[in-house]
Amino acid sequence: MASIFTKIIQREIPADIVYEQDNIIVIRDINPQAKTHLLIIPKKEIPTLNDIVDDDSELMSDMFLAAKKVTKDLGIDEWYSLRLNVWEKWGQEVFHIHMHLLSDI
């Protein structure tokens, strides 16, 4: 079954899309924990960071480059934090890799 993020990527359910490129989408979190709370999501549905393979290295680095671009575009590039939860014990709820981008600006 497709993850909630795949459904957003496929426009089956709505989301506030901040940025999109061929392999990544950036959306606003539906339940923000900071003034700016974005989710950087690879379009490839990988359940957890433990499931990445060597071929995903460019995709993983593209997630950081997307963070750099989006924070620059939003003017928060000097004040933000990135977080990636792995498995339920550390708070992962959606099993489709995503990086939280949080800023109080």
Query: From CA 72, how far away is CA 95, in angstroms rounded?
Result: 28
Report in angstroms how near the CB of residue 31 gets to ligand 5GP at its nearest. 4
Whichever of 77 and 85 has its CB closer to ligand 5GP, that residue is 85
Known active-site residue 98: yes
20 touches ligand 5GP by CB under 6 A:
no
Pick the closer one to ligand 5GP by CB: 48 or 54: 48
Residues forming a β-bridge with 20: 25
Contact by Cβ (8 Å): 97, 5: no
Distance in angstroms (rounded) separating the CA atoms of residues 71 and 40 = 11
Question: Least distance from C-beta 37 to ligand 5GP, angstroms?
Answer: 7
Looking at this protein, which amino acid is placed at residue 55?
D
Query: Is residue 97 part of the contact set for ligand 5GP (CB under 6 A)?
Result: no
Minimum distance from residue 2 beta carbon to ligand 5GP (Å): 12
Candidate residues 9, 15, 18, 76; the one interacting with ligand 5GP per rule CB under 6 A: 15
| CA angle (21 as vertex; 17, 82 as ends), nearest 5 | 65
